[in-house]
Structure 1
Amino acid sequence: MLRKIYEKAEKLLANRLLALIILIVVLYCVLIGRVFVLQIVEGQSHKNDFTYKVQKTVKTSGTRGNIYDVNGKLLAYNKLVYTVNFQNDNAFQTLAAKNGTSESYEKNKVIYKVIKILERNGDSFINEIPIEYTGSGKFRFTETGSKLKKFKRDVFGIGNSTDLSKSEKELRDKQLNATAEQVFEYLRNGTLGSAGTGKMFDIDKSYSKKDALKIMSVRYSAFLSRYSQYMKVTIANEINNRSIAEIKERSSELPGIDIDTKSIRVYNKSEAMSHVIGYTGTVNTDELETYNKGKKEEDKDYYSSDETVGKAGVEKQFENYLHGDSGSKTLVVNNVGKIIDTTKTVKSGTGNNITLSIDSELQEYVYNLLEKKIAGIVLSKLTSSDSAGNDRENIMIPIKKVYYSFIGNSVIDLENLNGDKATSYEKKMYRKIQTLEDQAINVSKNLVLKDTKAYKDQSEEKQAYASYVYSLLSSKKVLISSSIDTTDKTYQKWKNEKISLSEFLRYAVNKEWIDISSLNISSKYNDTEEIMKALAAYVEDALVDADDFDMTVCEQSIMKGKLSGREVCLLLYEQGVLKKKGDSDYTALKSGSLNSYDFIRRKLKSLQITPGQIGMDPCSGSVVITDSKTGKVKALVSYPGYDSNRLSNGTDSGYYRQLANSASTPLYNQALKHKTAPGSTFKPVSALAGLNEKVITTSTVINCTGLYDKITPPAKCWKYPDRHGARTVSTAIEASCNYFFYEVGYRLGDKSGSYSSKEGLKYLEKYATQLGLNKQSGIELDESSPQVSDETSVRSAIGQGRNSFTPSQIANYVTTLSNSGTVYDLSIMDKITDDNGKTVKKYGVKKVRQLHYDTTYWNAVHTGMRGVVSGKDSSVSSIFQGMKVKLAGKTGTAQENKKRPNHALFISYGPYEKPEITTTVVIPFGYTSSNAAATAKDIYEYYFANDKTKKTLEKNNKSVTETSVGTAGD
């Protein structure tokens, strides 16, 4: 029996197929058993431990290099702070699936929690989105111009494609012209988006508009780096210990959020140095494209989307040197996007350090001095009268215009008078302004519907509202400007102010210049009266929604006394522009014992209110100080400046909006960008041109009769109807005699025997070019291009015509004058060094050419310029009496606008015998060159003073003396 069983088994085993089947069955049973153990017995344990591991390499930013002044004083450096970061990773997908919500919903919930933690602990979050929600319940942009346009392009994903359908073009136009509220709604839920946009950030309606905007600002930062899934976005800088503790404690409910350290940029002497140093900010898409052109992602100098880059000044111009090489981290990330390990770290680098030729102590003193001098001019021109007067050389500043300037320049923010943090007084003023606005809207409706009085016969208030309505209808394309026949008699009457707004608009309706499709009219057939009623209703709604109509209302209300100066001035305290604590003027103003006119004068004298805030002529200026022997710039001052610390590390949107809206243009570099006619500072060019071309000699005498009649119309000397009499080139420079240099310009054009203005201009351009005036200065920052006049050689010879130069270019030219013919490219740079102190690049003297003019020609010009400072025929010599250092200079007064004061210029160098420095002062609309000369005089006193005297001068630089405006003769 056993033998039979054995034989059968042996036979079966000999069958290979059967053996294979048995083996498979055994293995299958083992597999089933193992699966049972893994899923049933050990399932929960494995579920808890399961990780789907992915490696991802992310960039880490390098450390930015420092910036120093010529004496090694630190101007820009990095400070290590704690930050809150948001990571747009996969963690939210898991939460959404678990909770039955959307990924956006979970992101928004976490971000909102973090924002509330930060606010509760006194910290703020970074807001990169240029939209704010005001206390009056309106959205508004905080940027303007090209920056705003670029923001809209980025938000809506608008490229440069021209191959668009009609509907796509219409949508693109709507997107580019979208209001702040429309952009907000697009980012909130996708409204106005292109096909496939989706719901964008899908911020739930349960969040208020204000909270939704906060969430949106964080989401927008992540949106900009959306192609880098594991890239962290910094949402708050320099947070305090309370925020750190709470966020760490609640980390389990805050996925995607972590605490880290980061270097932020800090600036010393920020305001005085702002236009030289500039500021930093997060890189934008255009900058990314520029900096990464031709680079690969693994390159050390590759920029990531959250990189900090220079936005202005040296920070921008020398970005490639200051930027530290990136490092990297190789991360292990699990299936929910959580970083569970770092397997490799490549240390980031440190950028190069920059040393400037600027003396920051001198720079700061000159900045404060310039502010003080401009404030003195403003004080001398303030008047309690409502009229500025008709004398162009003595235009006054009505105090009511000053009151309004605080509103017009956004020093007082009307829109936030009703904000969450508004005081009871602010809310009271908000209600009053709303009442005034309602009244103004009713007046405006009446101007549209039935007012028949001609525009020129209306009050200034009604003229202002009529003009506003006309501009509003044109900008909204309700009044179709392109359809208007500008030769039409009725239109001409309107332009000449001979008919009322209502009469013009009725006529425009009949001529079909009004697009009635924009109006709320139900029938296709309407008479003029129905259309006018609809137009008035449209105007009413548009004025309610208009962002700036309340400013027009306030301006007119202040001028009419409906809104008092006292009420406006008290708002300066309520909005934190001035501090109540310890200020006796506040108590006196509030009680009425101090009137608002005297209040403004006091605050201007103490510089608690500045010309930059007022923004009325004059409110800006520049000073350039150079080394005569090298062309190195010792001070490059542009007033007003700005606080770079408030623009770096996440823009202070309210502050930026105030800067952008200010009439004093604090974001504009006056020294490098503001072009002006040089006025009489150009006369040394004409003198050297005349001498070298032999049309005059150093002893040539020209008799000034006051009226130069060789050209038509005749040209007047500034002395007219008086005269200067007989003048040589040196005494003509001293007295700044226009007649003498008119004749030089004429003779230059008459060298061939027949006068040609074109020929004269050719010679003026030749010598302006030789002297270094007809080129950019060489300063290593962005600068406007110069222009030598190309019309009328006679008037161009005194610096008028179309001559137009920046202060930096004028400074380059006076440097050439000071050293008798060595032309430099100016420079603000000393050296660039690496982190170990090794010199990477040294900026030496940049000599362009040496002019070999006859020494007697140079001496004639120097003698004349010395006479400007010390001669009896100079209009400014009295200013320099008592100076221990001998100086030489030249005044300049340039007219730009007959309704505004002249520009004030003064060029100079000293000491006279062996010049060390040159000083160029330009005060736009500064009335007369004596104001610029007085500023230069104080600069020289400080520069050549000992340390003890400098301390005294710095102390005295904080109070203002009313300027006594001198002779406007040159």
Structure 2
Amino acid sequence: MDRHKKKLLNRLTVVTVGGLLCGLVVAANLFSLQIIHGDEYASKASQLYTYTNTIPASRGDILDRNGETLVSNKTVYKLCITYAFWEKEGQNDRILQLVNLIDTEDDAELNDTLPISNGRRGSFAFTKDEDSSDYKSLQTFCTKQKWEEDLDADAVVDNLRTLYEVDSSLSDADARKIVGIRYQMEQEQFSMYNPFTLATDISMDLVVRISEQQEKYAGVEVETSAEREIKSDVAANILGYTGPIFAEDWDKYKDNGYSMNAQVGKTGAEQAFEEYLRGTDGERAIQTDARGNVVSEEETKEAKSGNNVILTIDANLQKVAEQSLAQRCQSIGGAKGGAAAVVDVRNGEILALANYPTYDLATFNKDYEKLAANKLTPLLNRSIAGTYAPGSTFKPVTAVAGLETGKITADTRIYDTGIYTYFKGYHPKCWIYNKSGHGHGWEDVTDALEDSCNYFFFETGRLVGGENLEKYAKAFGLGEYTGLELSGEKKGRAAGPTERAEAQKNDSSLRDWSGADSIQTAIGQGDNAFTPLQLANYCAAIASNGTQYEAHLLRSVKAYDYSDTIYTKEATVRNKIEAADSTWKLVQQGMAKVTGEDGTASSVFANYSIKVAGKSGTAQISGTKLDNGIFISYAPYKDPQIAVCVIIEGGDSGNNVAPVVRDIYDAYFYSDKNSTDGTSDGTTGTQDVGAYDVIA
């Protein structure tokens, strides 16, 4: 046998032996599958797998004090992705296709909270400020990924593209769509036990289109759900909005029975009263075979709707306050914004919290980028988070402090020369001197309140001292939290030596407290900074002879079907400012004279049909051309029911602001609850004013 044939024979032998060995391996495997493990694998093939899905419960309604529904629910279609049936291979392409379909919808809302612009205009940019929950969630996510700190938006998107293996040939806009959804899936912990909601409020047309392409979009299902429906075009800052639970917040929700994909209150009343509004989710058991085919579905736990929250606000009064505030701000050249707060003197209930500019809660998500970029800061809830020097509206505090410490009495008269010369090298002037070149002359405490005489309160403030001014300011709740349930309320600051010393710990450049600080504090300048709600609540305490209630928005809670009252909020006294009856009488008389025929607000209230007590204020703001205008008041004078504070940034004077206060009184005392246009003439109305102090 020649060498060539021998070599060929060897190769055939190797192939034959190899084939025999492979056959033996296959035979052995078949023997193992069919004989040794046959029963075990047959059992697994026929085994059913059960998964539990959550059936979301609808939230309760939010209503005003008169039963007008402000926020409710509507049934909408939503696109959900079920993890078990969602093919991970090629998911980026399918996500892009689905998002493009959703983008053709006018009302559909994509579940994408990544706070980065859409990438259609070149470089990316963050769309939320650093204090927003969406921005904080993104920073937490970046930290977990161990990415560099303080990445700009472009760098974040680049990292997300790499993380989610997005095709590098895709445009920035398309890549942003994909990474936004993939990021959201991760934020909401998309898993076998937690389906992901891709979009809500989709149209029937899109429902049909998705259903017709079920094979293409395996795992994408159309479900119905109850989504929040905004029925009010006012009170955006009060009502707030809902959103998904983010991964970093999950620990605080899971122990309270929330599902991972639950919608929770994020701001406003939705957040503050979450415990009442949230429902109890139901459960659905889904059985599948080993191939993932659904065998059966069963509702194992019925969903229970949340309870209904009744707020203290009056929707009609809120509307008038917002409209009047807007009209007044727009009519004053240079005005930048404003706020109004209205409280019930008798129990601390908040009847209105108005802001200008404001926004439409129904279109909040779509409008967010524009709202966030607006230099007038419409997202700022000025009524509770704007802090302002009170100007002369602080003078009643100084009057109470002076009378109660005995530094002044009802008979004390101080001669206003126009220029206060007590301090060497520091000679502040009374406002009237700047206008006329002379002072007010002899003034007692009620005259000084009527005329808003700086000189009188300079001297009173010097005699009383900074410690007492700070003490009485805080007793009135100024520079203190009001008790409001909403998050975001600012504490403000009551000027005084204690506050100054505390501030010096963080700023060594601040000088020590001096007598000059005391006299500036006495007229509402210096370090004083309060919210409109604090000022309204302080005014209410004057009206009620020192009884100050915690301000609150919750009135009661009704069962989901309104069949029972679950909870009723009781008025809580925050503080009782101890002062003689004569002290309250003098201060109240002085404030009543402010709105009289010779007072600083006479042009607005002198002929008003209900007697109003008030105090105007003009607060000087460093670096601005126009002063802030402030007005606090209560009415009726002899039977106080409500207290009001209105502030307009750049309003120039309290007298400029007073017409808004009058419109609010018109709405409360006179307007037909079913029809009001937010303007006042003081001549028409449906409410009986016989019990009020009416001027003939």
Normalising TM by the smaller chain, what interval? 0.7 to 0.9
8 Å contact 1:117–1:247 — kept in the other structure? no
2:313 — aligned with what?
A: 358
Residue of structure 2 aligned with 1:233, choices 192, 196, 210: 196
Ranges in structure 2 where 5+ consecutive residues have no aligned partner = 1-26, 497-512, 683-696
Which of 458, 470, 485 is the aligned partner of 1:742? 458
Match of 1:833 in 2: 558
Taking only the aligned residue pairs, the percentage that are identical comes to 31
Is 1:877–2:590 an aligned residue pair?
no
Instruction: Name 2:582's counterpart in structure 1.
Output: 856
Query: Which of residues 467, 478, 492 in structure 2 aligns to 1:773?
Result: 478
Note if contact 1:88-1:222 (Cα within 8 Å) is conserved in structure 2: no
Aligned position for 2:396 = 684
Q: Name the CA shift for 1:53/1:186 in 2 (closer, same or farther; >3 Å).
A: farther
The aligned residue for residue 113 of structure 1 is: 97
2:142 corresponding residue in structure 1: 156
Cα shift readout 1:701-759 (whole Å, capped 9, x = no counterpart):
100001111124122111123211000100000000000011111222xxxxxxxxxxx
CA deviation map 1:160-196 (0-9, x unaligned): xxxxxxxxxxx74x3x3323222222222x2xxxxxx
Per the alignment, in what secondary structure is the counterpart of residue 242 of structure 1?
A: helix
- Map 1:790-805 → 2, pairs under 5 A: 790=496, 791=513, 792-805=517-530
SS in 2 for 1:349: coil
Q: Does 1:696 align with 2:408?
A: yes
Aligned match of 2:446: 730
2:669 corresponds in structure 1 to 944
**Secondary structure, aligned partner of 1:951:** coil
User: Which of 182, 188, 205 is 2:155 aligned to?
Assistant: 182
Distance in 2, matches of 1:253 and 1:203, equals 20
How far residue 207 of structure 1 moved from its aligned partner, in angstroms, is 3.5
Task: Give the whole-Å Cα distance in 1 for the aligned partners of 2:458 and 2:532.
Answer: 24
Map 1:286-305 → 2, pairs under 5 A: 286-292=248-254, 295=255, 301-305=256-260
Hey, what does 1:632 align to over in structure 2?
Answer: 349
**TM-aligned CA deviation for residue 135 of structure 1:** 4.1
Distance 1:632 1:53 in 2: 57
Q: Are the aligned partners of 2:316 and 2:673 in contact in 1 as well (CA < 8 Å)?
A: no
Deviation at 1:902, TM superposition (A): 1.3
Partners of 2:537 and 2:643 within 8 A in 1: no
Structure-2 separation of matches of 1:238 and 1:90: 23
Q: Structure 1 residues 949, 262: closer, same or farther in 2, change over 3 A?
A: closer
After TM superposition, give the deviation of residue 344 of structure 1 in Å. 4.8
What's the offset of the Cα at 1:149?
Answer: 4.9
> In structure 2, what is the equivalent of residue 718 of structure 1?
431
Please state if 1:250 is matched with 2:245: no
Query: 2:500 aligns to what?
Result: none
- SS of the equivalent of 2:318 reads helix
Where is the strand percentage greater, Structure 1 or Structure 2? 2
TM-score by length of 2: 0.84
Distance 1:73 1:793, change over 3 A: same
Structure 2 residue aligned with 1:707? 419
The yes-or-no answer on 1:72 pairing with 2:67 is yes
Gaps of at least 5 residues in structure 1 are 1-27, 40-45, 93-102, 160-170, 191-199, 296-300, 379-616, 749-759, 958-970
Shift in alpha-carbon separation, 1:665–1:355, aligned structure 2, 3 A: same
The structure that has the greater radius of gyration is 1
On the 8 A contact 1:279/1:645 being kept in 2, the answer is: no
Look up the equivalent residue of 2:411 and give its one-letter code: S
Per-residue deviation, residues 2-60 of structure 1 (Å, max 9, x unmatched): xxxxxxxxxxxxxxxxxxxxxxxxxx9xx98x969xx9xxxxxx9xx966632222333
CA contact (8 A) 1:746 1:793 kept: yes
- Matched letter for residue 63 of structure 2: Y
Q: Aligned partners of 1:793 and 1:154: how far apart in 2?
A: 46
Q: Given the superposition, is the C-alpha separation of residues 919 and 52 from structure 1 closer, same or farther in structure 2, using an over 3 Å criterion?
A: same
User: Which residue, 277, 281, 286 being the options, matches 2:239?
Assistant: 277
Paired AA for residue 144 in structure 2:
I
Q: How far apart, in 1, do the equivalents of 2:227 and 2:302 lie?
A: 18
Letter matched to residue 534 of structure 2? Q
Matches within 5 A, 1:538-617: 617=334
1:234 and 1:889 mapped to 2: Cα distance? 53
The one-letter code matched in structure 1 to 2:614 is G
Aligned partners of 2:560 and 2:307: how far apart in 1? 6
Sort the Cα spacing of 1:286 and 1:902 in 2 relative to 1 into closer, same or farther, 3 A: farther
Q: Residues 828 and 120 from structure 1, CA distance in 2 versus in 1: closer, same or farther, beyond 3 angstroms?
A: closer
Q: Deviations over 1:555-583 (max 9, x none)?
A: xxxxxxxxxxxxxxxxxxxxxxxxxxxxx
- The yes-or-no answer on 1:673 pairing with 2:390 is no
SS at match of 2:235: helix
Over 3 Å counting, the alpha-carbon distance change for 1:376 and 1:785 in structure 2 is same
Name the CA shift for 1:629/1:120 in 2 (closer, same or farther; >3 Å). closer
CA distance, structure 1, for counterparts of residue 260 and residue 528 of structure 2: 44
Cα gap change, 1:637 to 1:952, in 2 (>3 Å): closer
Alpha-carbon distance in structure 2 between the residues aligned to 1:941 and 1:62: 41
TM-align CA RMSD:
2.8
1:227 CA drift (Å): 5.8
- Say how many residue pairs are matched: 622
Distance 1:330 1:926 in 2: 62
Name 1:475's counterpart in structure 2: none
Question: Alpha-carbon deviations, 1:484-524, whole Å to 9, x = none?
Answer: xxxxxxxxxxxxxxxxxxxxxxxxxxxxxxxxxxxxxxxxx
CA displacement 1:754-774 (0-9 Å, x = unmatched): xxxxxx112112322333335
* Alignment partner, residue 296 of structure 2: 341
